[in-house]
Structure 1
Amino acid sequence: MASIPPDLSRFLFVTLFSLLIGLEQRKHHTDEADQTLFGTDRTFSLIGILGFILYIISPGNLLVFLTGGVSISLFLAIYYHNKIKIKKNLGITSIVIALITYCLAPLIYLQPVWIALLIGVSVLILTEVKEDLFNFSKKFSRDEFLTLAKFIIIAGIVLPLLPHDPISKNFNISPYQLWLTIVAVSSISYLSYLIKKFVFPNSGILLTALLGGMYSSTATTIILARESKEGRRANQITAGILSATGMMYCRLLILAFMFNMKIAQKLLPGFLVLILASIPLVWYFWHKDSNTNRAPEECQQKHKNPLELKTAIVFGFLFAFFGIITQIVVQTYGKLGVNILSFIVGVTDIDPYILNLFQGGATVMISVDSIVKATIIATASNNLIKMIYAISLGSQVLKKKVAVGFSILIVLSFLIILGLY
């Protein structure tokens, strides 16, 4: 490659990508009975070569290149005017692609090769997936774009503007940290929501439970337990509930690595044991029924929008509340108080409390091992309340199965605390 003149290699790059873009245009419009395109492979190749020639004539002064661009634009404008007038077709994609092709030469000269490759490949892909994008856009409602806008606002606009200084000397959490927890949890929930709605809209019980566990294992447990009363298979419902709990451990482990690496490393062995223990339980109950095939539409878990303003405000309030309570308990009662508080908090949404442990002032007053123990106690307590929900709301057949599964995880949690920490 070193023996090839740089201008030659760049010329070959421009010609090759111009030809590929032209070939894609030919393929894309090959089924059209009424050709409205101004050109395909040869035309686009020549447009790329023309751009190369006009650029290398005077690379220091872009006047010649810009003049050629204006001339090409003028011809394309005349073509577009007649296309609208005669064919009644307003599409402008091919014209934009032609202008991008013309700009390949200065792009390969002035920017790293990977940028030119990225742009060329992006043009090919975006042209090819026109129908797929159109079909995908049909799945979006107006609310989905509003949800995306909310996520951009809370993560990209509000978060960078918040101060990093602690709110007070007694409460070692800054507005930035408080909002960051909302963004972190919302990101995981939002990703699960998008996958469930757009990638697997008709998923069965197990996949629905796995995705629901990344959103809220408690909400997933309640929904699946209620479905068991409608004649659903109790074994598969149990497998779904336990798999959602297994995903709860994964979610909390991700949050730990995001906020406190030391805690995450200490927490990893215990949570890994609990995750691995949930797998055979899920497998046992899922395969206990002789026929595991079921119609995807039989299980339709409806996720609430994970980015509702009310939800964010409640989460922020709980985070601040548990932050104050945790510091008071730590200062007054020490490790024992935190363990008792962890068990009590398990009956609520444990994410705000656990995130306080991961990044709050408690890490200064108690050891990392104590925080890890408190986290596992909170998850065990949360499993206990989920078991109560499932027994209360589920069918008669479901109760015993869920009790057995959750009891194993709860007992194992305390054994891990005694053995590993």
Structure 2
Amino acid sequence: MNIFEIINNPFGTFVLGLLVATGVGSIIGLEREFNTHHDVAHLGGLRTFTLIAVTGFIVGTLAQQTHVYFLLAGLLGFIGLLSTAYYIQALNQRLGLTTELGMLLTFSLGILIAYKFIQEALAAVVVITTILSLKEQLHGIVKKLTQEEMSAFIKFIILALLVLPLLPNQTFGPENSINVKDLGWIVLVVLTFSFGGYLLLKFGTPNKGILLSALIGGLFSSTMIAWIFASRSREKPEYGAVYGAGIVLASSVMLVRVFILCSIFAFPVAKLLLLPLSLMLFTSIVPAFISWRKEEKAQTGAIVAGNPLDVKNALFFAGLYIATTLLMYYSREWLSESMVYATAAVTGIADIDAITLSTAKWASQHTDQHRMAVNLILTAIFSNSIFKLSVSLIRGVPALKIAALKGFGLVIATGLLYLLLS
């Protein structure tokens, strides 16, 4: 009898579930043991959580063999036990609920495993352990939050969990190419990039310099970074090469953004873009890193984080997306193919994300046009890169111009070579 035959028989299934439950309880228990061992009143550790997970597994297994009421009785009994333990702890002035909730979740995970939701239980244990282990970091972040940032976080949760699910799944426009719920997702994606970049900038390394500002600023707008850094290079010409490296690095974030957006809205297009984007990313990072290493000690003030949740900007982007979608549709209907690419190039100068989203959504509805979608997105990337290179050459100091030429020159050459050979 091989290992698969053993696992697939009833006893083997039970043993496998028991081992998984033991592992799940051990992981959470190890975290609790490590973080609460100094507290003489700590409620449980490695052994306790392991036994709780195993108990939950056994209760779930017996419930399947008897009646669901057995599961209900076991769960209520465990909650009663926890409530008693919490009451005793409260008498000793210990009012935290974290460990008790961790125990209840561990018991529930044991039940999930008994019902063969093993992958779901393993995913949940990763989330639970991460949250439990980040106590100090989460408390530190909360202490640093301002009223504006807390309000922004609440608005973000409301938009993501309450407003978005209520949007109708209704289409309009030519070929029903625009969907109301999709517009909601687009706004949420833009807000996520913006809010995530803001938090990284606020809670990142204290010694924020050009590199960090470029990488995080690239989440907002790499074109904005090119404009700002080129201007700053005139104020501090000695940092020209570093500013140039920063512009190229910010633009490399744009390439990552393009891949993520395509993966969300048209994964087949993202797969076709993976190779050219990877090559362009590599050819932008290497020269930028070389320029950065030459001026490794150069540091300067970071870009101001700005509004933590710029809803107006996200709504403006949604409008830009609609305009780009209509523009690309009518150019495909009325103009020649070469003019369609010209339209993509012009649109790409204004905003690369809008043309990426519009083209990805169009390609998801026209599965025979994936290759054209890839070429349109690459064309927009080229025009956007050329525009940022032009800004660097016009507004930057000589050292910045050289760094920008190396980075963008290799990126554009690599992309064009891929188009010619594909």
Shorter chain as normaliser: what TM range? 0.7 to 0.9
Instruction: Kindly state the Cα deviation for residue 357 of structure 1 after the two structures are TM-superposed.
Output: 1.9
Residue range with higher mean Cα deviation, 61-70 or 220-229: 61-70
- Secondary structure of 2:296's counterpart equals coil
1:83 maps to what in 2? Answer: 92
Instruction: Kindly state the Cα deviation for residue 337 of structure 1 after the two structures are TM-superposed.
Output: 1.7
Corresponding pairs, count: 410
2:400 maps to what in 1? Answer: 398
In 2, Cα distance between equivalents of 1:365 and 1:109? 42
In 2, Cα distance between equivalents of 1:366 and 1:122? 40
Spell out the pairing of 1:12-411 with structure 2 (5 A cutoff). 31=38, 72=81, 75-76=84-85, 79-80=88-89, 82-84=91-93, 90-93=95-98, 129-169=134-174, 172-200=177-205, 202-231=207-236, 233-287=239-293, 289=294, 292-295=296-299, 298-305=300-307, 307-360=309-362, 367-395=369-397, 397-403=399-405, 405-410=407-412
In 1, Cα distance between equivalents of 2:120 and 2:363? 45
1:277-300, Cα deviation, whole Å (9 max, x unpaired): 22332234224x2x52345xx341
Residue range with higher mean Cα deviation, 54-63 or 217-226: 54-63
What is the one-letter code of the residue matched to 2:252? G
Asked if structure 2 preserves the Cα contact closer than 8 Å seen for 1:326 and 1:362, the reply is: no
1:168-194, Cα deviation, whole Å (9 max, x unpaired): 346632223333333344444444444
Asked if structure 2 preserves the Cα contact closer than 8 Å seen for 1:330 and 1:365, the reply is: no
In 1, Cα distance between equivalents of 2:130 and 2:284? 41
Asked if structure 2 preserves the Cα contact closer than 8 Å seen for 1:330 and 1:366, the reply is: no
1:62-89, Cα deviation, whole Å (9 max, x unpaired): 59758865874675465355334xxxx5
What is the one-letter code of the residue matched to 2:249? S
In 2, Cα distance between equivalents of 1:48 and 1:368? 48
In 2, Cα distance between equivalents of 1:365 and 1:120? 38
Asked if structure 1 preserves the Cα contact closer than 8 Å seen for 2:352 and 2:380, the reply is: yes
1:112-168, Cα deviation, whole Å (9 max, x unpaired): 567777778877766555334322432333444433334344444444433444313
Asked if structure 2 preserves the Cα contact closer than 8 Å seen for 1:54 and 1:68, the reply is: no
Residue range with higher mean Cα deviation, 388-397 or 307-316: 388-397
In 2, Cα distance between equivalents of 1:10 and 1:329? 58
Asked if structure 1 preserves the Cα contact closer than 8 Å seen for 2:288 and 2:403, the reply is: no
In 2, Cα distance between equivalents of 1:23 and 1:412? 49
In 1, Cα distance between equivalents of 2:126 and 2:365? 48
* Structure 1: gaps (5+ residues): none
- Secondary structure of 1:300's counterpart equals coil
Residue range with higher mean Cα deviation, 385-394 or 235-244: 385-394
CA, structure 1 residues 366+229, in 2 after alignment: closer, same or farther (shift >3 Å)?
A: farther
- Secondary structure of 1:347's counterpart equals helix
In 1, Cα distance between equivalents of 2:59 and 2:213? 57
Normalising by structure 1, what TM-score? 0.73
- Secondary structure of 1:301's counterpart equals coil
Instruction: Kindly state the Cα deviation for residue 385 of structure 1 after the two structures are TM-superposed.
Output: 2.2
Instruction: Kindly state the Cα deviation for residue 218 of structure 1 after the two structures are TM-superposed.
Output: 0.9
Asked if structure 2 preserves the Cα contact closer than 8 Å seen for 1:357 and 1:363, the reply is: no
In 1, Cα distance between equivalents of 2:104 and 2:367? 63
Pair member with larger Rg: 1
Instruction: Kindly state the Cα deviation for residue 379 of structure 1 after the two structures are TM-superposed.
Output: 1.8
1:223-270, Cα deviation, whole Å (9 max, x unpaired): 322332342521122112112222222221232233234433444443
Instruction: Kindly state the Cα deviation for residue 396 of structure 1 after the two structures are TM-superposed.
Output: 5.1
Query: Could you say what the CA RMSD is over the residues aligned between the two structures, in angstroms?
Result: 4.7
In 1, Cα distance between equivalents of 2:252 and 2:120? 41
CA, structure 1 residues 25+189, in 2 after alignment: closer, same or farther (shift >3 Å)?
A: closer
Asked if structure 2 preserves the Cα contact closer than 8 Å seen for 1:363 and 1:371, the reply is: no
Instruction: Kindly state the Cα deviation for residue 202 of structure 1 after the two structures are TM-superposed.
Output: 3.8
* Structure 2: gaps (5+ residues): 1-5
In 1, Cα distance between equivalents of 2:397 and 2:341? 33
What is the one-letter code of the residue matched to 2:226? T
Normalising by structure 2, what TM-score? 0.73
- Which structure carries more helix by proportion? 2
- Secondary structure of 1:250's counterpart equals helix
